[in-house]
Structures are given as C-alpha cells and as structure tokens.
Structure 1
Amino acid sequence: MKNIIFLLSCIILINCSKSGGSKQEARADLMEVIPEEKAPSVAAVSPPLSLSEKLIPDENKSGKEGYVHKKTDTISKKIIKNGDMKIQVGDIKKAQNQVNEIIRKNNAYIQKEEFQNTDMNDNLTLIIRVPHKNFDALINSFSDGVGSVLSKNISSNDVTEEYTDVAIKLANKKIYLEKYRNMLKSAATTKDMLEIQENIRELEDEIDIAEGRLRFIDDRVNYSTLNLSLYKEKVRSSATSKIGFGSRFIDSLTEGWNSFVSFLLGIVSLWPFFLIIPMIVFLWRKWKSKKKVQN
C-alpha cells in the first residue's frame, strides 16, 4: 500500500513540473510573436522614480533599497517675513537721514521711495528689502530712535511645503526631459519625433515656470520686506503753535481779505437775478396801472 501511494505521488509531481515548463514555453513563444513595430509608444514610457526615492539615501541601508521617502527634511525652513510701520516724526529730512543710516548698518536697501506733501502733512513712504536675519534688528532700530510709532504690523508665512512640492516636481520633470531627449535620438519615424518634441517643449515650459517660482520664493525668503511710512503732521493748534503774533495777525488780515473778495465774487455771480427782478417789477406795475384805467 505504501508503495502504491509513493508511485502516485511521483506521477503527480512529474505532471506538475511539465505543466509549469509548458507555461514558461508558452510565455516565451508569446514574446517572440510580438513584432518590434508594435512596441509601446512614447506615451507608454514608465515614469521615473520620485525625487525622494531617487535622491535621498538612508544612512542605515545600502543599494537601491536604501532610498526612503523624506520630503520636507531635505529643505530648510522657508519663512517669508513682511512688515508695515508708520512713524510720526518732527522733521522728515532728519528722520530720513536716520533711516538711511539704519538701512546701511543692516545691509538693507530701498526698493521704492515716494514722497507726498499736502496742506495737512508730509508723508515719506519707503519699501525696504532687508536680509532675513537682520529683519528684527531693523524693526527694533526704527522703533527706538526715529520717532513715535503710530502703527506696526509684522507677519510671517511658512512656505516650506510649497517650496518642497515645487522642487520635487521640478526634479521629476527634468528626469522626464532627459528621458525624452534620449528617446528623440533613437526615434524611428517622423510621427514619433514630433510627439517627443512636443513633450519636450511642454516640459521645458513647465520647468521654466517652476524655476521662476522657486527663484521668487527664495528672493522673498532671503530678503524680507518692510513698508515704512514717515509721517509729519502740519496742523497747528493754539497750545503748540510757535508762530508769533505778528505772523498770525498778517495771516488773519490775508484771510479776511480773501473772504471779502469771495463775498464780492459771489454777489457778482448773481448778476442775472439783478436784471430780471427790476424787469419783473416794471411789468407788474405796468399791468397794475392798465387795470386801474380799465376800471
């Protein structure tokens, strides 16, 4: 009985090995049947490994299996700082000299300058770009010695995640671009060449946009922006005015004369009414006299 069971087991194993071998032969035959002309098109190119898998090795492992996903750890924190300050000063020119000295000490520069002189106030507006590490020192210097701070608003924006995403996508697009350029060298037909060239053109445009975005973020991170307004009020009050009596007396005479001239001009502007009213009175009296004669 044991011999019979042993013989049956051997027969089963031999059949299984033959079926496996036949499947492998069938697969080999199938690969030989597919002609080269029906190879996958350009669009069927397998995507490259992501940047995190391709460029970030794990120190504890070696070889291709040692690449792990590390997304945000590869790029330092990207913080954009902006600020707005309004300072009231007694002398615009003096305050501007102080501001220029503070800007020089902090390695900053003025991106835009605008001055407005009105009847009520003088206003000097500066857009200042300062290295990220000197931003706080610049704010403190303006707060301490330039004038009276009327308003101050400081904000920080963490763009690390956006920067990392753009950088990873940019690196992947460059890998695609290199692969398409290699395929262009071995393109067999004009149709394939045109397809590959179109893909290359689109990738180059996307790469330019991504690189521009990274440059913009780097600029905003490396140099913070401060909008500074130096404000001098011109309105005088009786308690604080230092103008003498003679100057104020002359100003009052001038103001009175201007008011009188304005009054005369206002009367002159009513000349049509001065002509119409006497005519109406004359016609009314004439009509009244005729009515009396008829009675």
Structure 2
Amino acid sequence: MRNVILLLFAFFLIQCNKSENQHEIKADLAEVLREDKIASPTAIMDLEAPSPPNKISEKPVSDNQQSSSKKIDPISKKIIKNGEMTIQVGDIKKAQSLVGEILKKNQAYIQTEKFNNIETEENLNLIIRVPHQNFDALINSFSNGVGSVLSKNISSNDVTEEYTDVSIKLANKKIYLEKYRDMLKSASTTKDILEIQENIRELEDEIDISEGRLRFIDDKVKYSTLNLNLYKEKVRSSATSKIGFGNRFGDSLTEGWNTFVGFMLGLVSLWPFLLVIPLFIFLWRKWKFRRKK
C-alpha cells in the first residue's frame, strides 16, 4: 500500500512539471508571435514602400549631396601665355630661315603666315604656337639672334578659377544626366517621357559646351601663342632720288604738262554741259526780253 501511494505521488509530480513546461512554451510562443506582429508591419513597409521619386520637372535633390560629398581632384595652375614681337631685319628670307630653325629647336609650329610687300617696307607676320615650357626660350632666341627688336609685349593670364568652376559644373551635370536616364527607364506616361527627354537633351548640350570650353583652355595653356612680325624697311627706289636738279626740273615740266592735258581732257568729257548751259542762258534772256516788251 505504501508503495502504491509513492508511485501515485511521483506520477502527480511528473504531470505537474509537464503542465508547467507547456505553459512556459505557450507563453514564449505567444510572446514571439506578439513581437512578430509588432515588427512585421514596419518590415513590410520597408520592403514594399520605397521613398517616393522626385518630381520630373525638378532636379534630383540627392545630387547636390552626392556632388558635395564627392571629392574633386585638385586642379593644377592654368596659365595662358601670349606675346607679340616686332623685329627689324636686313633680309626677310634669311630671317625666315633662321626663324624656322629656332621653331624646330623649340618644338613650335607656325599657325598662320602672312606676307606684305609694299613700296616702303616688307612685312612677314607669323602666328606661332609653342609648348608653354619652351615659350621663354623661344622669346630669348628671337631677341638675341634674329634682328633688332622694335617692340615686345608678353602677357600671362591665370584661368585656374574659371577652369575649376567649369569642371565642377560639368561633374554635377553628368550626375544629373545619369539620374534623368534612370528616371526615363521607369517613366510610365508619355508626358513624363517627353519631359525627361527634353531635360536630357538640354543637359547633353550644356555638357558639350562645357567640355569644349575645357578643351579650349587646355589647348591655350599647353601651347602658348606668339605673334611675330619681321619688318624690313626698303631704301627709296624713286627715280627722282637718283637724278640731279636739271633732270628733276624737266620731270616737273613734263608732269605739269601731263596735268594740263588731263585737265583739258576732263573739260572735254563735260561737253554736254558746255552745250546745255549756253542754250539755257539764251532761252532765259529771250524769255526775259519778251516779258519786258
């Protein structure tokens, strides 16, 4: 009997422990389910509700943040050098040959060449492009070995600020262009597509202009420009400068006669007026006489 009571008591304790464990499991499961119900709406919203897109007519707001956070490489100094020189020489051809040797030595080339030959002088005008690192050496070579320098004007223009400004704006425009292209892929209406395409076209035009400006500045910085004028004064070749007084007097008489002949020929060319004027005077006097009578 005693053994039976002990067995029943042991069975009762076992059942109590099982019920407690089941209650704990149910409580833990309920708590987990409650936490899932609380967390699940936000999780679903995060997955199914992305941030609304920007208006098509406006530029993406995040672009400014991206462009400001994006680091821009430092730009080296951009200096444009230009010069003008006028050199008097004794022989244009020899001076031109010497200039060609100096240009070859300094890796320069002639962009424009213009020659004038008038009664009193000869002029050879050359527009020369030279690598910026050889500009000073080229100027010194022309100053010392070509002829007598009549005038020289050298200038330097710092365009670093302009170059930096154009580069930054160009980078921002490229970011905007990529954003609009991404928006074009997701556009659903014809109006939105046309508006995005117009914005893309405008940005592409602005990017082309900016890139062209940067290329122009790079070319001017890389190659300096020199306007070189080779000048030769001619000795007067007039015939009157080589003859004596008697011959000059005869030439003056001849020139006077030629002038008189030219004047008479000019009068002859006015013969219609010489006929009309006397006729007009005759008719006017006749009319006046009749009126008095």
User: Taking structure 2 as the reference length, what is the TM-score of the superposition?
Assistant: 0.66
Tell me if structure 2 keeps the 8 A contact 1:79–1:160.
yes
Deviation of 1:45 after TM superposition, in Å, equals 2.2
Deviation of 1:182 after TM superposition, in Å, equals 1.1
SS of the aligned residue for 1:90 comes to coil
Task: Tell me, in whole angstroms, the C-alpha distance in 1 between the residues paired with 2:139 and 2:256.
Answer: 48
SS of the aligned residue for 2:77 comes to coil
Match for residue 160 of structure 1? 160
215-224 vs 47-56, which deviates more?
A: 47-56
CA RMSD of superposed structures (Å): 3.6
Distance of aligned partners of 1:44 and 1:218 in 2 relative to their CA distance in 1, 3 Å threshold: closer
Tell me if structure 1 keeps the 8 A contact 2:59–2:176.
no
Alignment of 1:20-99 (within 5 A): 40-42=54-56, 43=58, 45-48=60-63, 49=65, 51=67, 53-56=69-72, 74-99=74-99
Distance of aligned partners of 1:267 and 1:39 in 2 relative to their CA distance in 1, 3 Å threshold: closer
Distance of aligned partners of 1:246 and 1:231 in 2 relative to their CA distance in 1, 3 Å threshold: closer
Tell me if structure 1 keeps the 8 A contact 2:123–2:229.
yes
Match for residue 215 of structure 1? 215
Distance of aligned partners of 1:198 and 1:138 in 2 relative to their CA distance in 1, 3 Å threshold: same
Deviations 1:8-63 (A, max 9, x none): xxxxxxxxxxxxxxxxxxxx8xx99xx99x8642226214136463034xxxxxxx
185-194 vs 201-210, which deviates more?
A: 185-194
SS of the aligned residue for 1:188 comes to coil
Deviation of 1:196 after TM superposition, in Å, equals 1.1
Distance of aligned partners of 1:174 and 1:266 in 2 relative to their CA distance in 1, 3 Å threshold: same
Task: Tell me, in whole angstroms, the C-alpha distance in 2 between the residues paired with 1:158 and 1:266.
Answer: 64
Distance of aligned partners of 1:170 and 1:39 in 2 relative to their CA distance in 1, 3 Å threshold: closer
Deviation of 1:251 after TM superposition, in Å, equals 8.8
Pairing 1:110–2:125 present: no
Deviation of 1:137 after TM superposition, in Å, equals 0.7
SS of the aligned residue for 2:70 comes to helix
Deviation of 1:181 after TM superposition, in Å, equals 0.7
2:258 to 261, 264, 289: 261
Deviation of 1:145 after TM superposition, in Å, equals 1.1
Matched AA of 1:41: K
Matched AA of 2:200: I
Match for residue 204 of structure 2? 204
Extract structure 1 runs of 4+ deviating beyond 6 A: 253-256
Alignment of 1:155-194 (within 5 A): 155-194=155-194
Match for residue 26 of structure 2? none
Distance of aligned partners of 1:227 and 1:53 in 2 relative to their CA distance in 1, 3 Å threshold: same
User: Taking structure 1 as the reference length, what is the TM-score of the superposition?
Assistant: 0.66
Task: Tell me, in whole angstroms, the C-alpha distance in 1 between the residues paired with 2:214 and 2:170.
Answer: 10
Matched length? 227
**Any unmatched runs of 5+ in structure 1?**
1-27, 57-72, 280-295
Q: Normalized per residue, which structure has more helix? A: 2
Matched AA of 2:183: M
Tell me if structure 2 keeps the 8 A contact 1:80–1:159.
yes
Matched AA of 2:262: L
Match for residue 24 of structure 2? none
Distance of aligned partners of 1:103 and 1:44 in 2 relative to their CA distance in 1, 3 Å threshold: closer
SS of the aligned residue for 1:231 comes to strand
SS of the aligned residue for 1:55 comes to coil
Which protein shows a greater Rg?
A: 2
**Any unmatched runs of 5+ in structure 2?**
1-41, 279-293
Quick one: percent identity of the two aligned structures? 65
SS of the aligned residue for 1:217 comes to helix
Task: Tell me, in whole angstroms, the C-alpha distance in 2 between the residues paired with 1:164 and 1:50.
Answer: 18
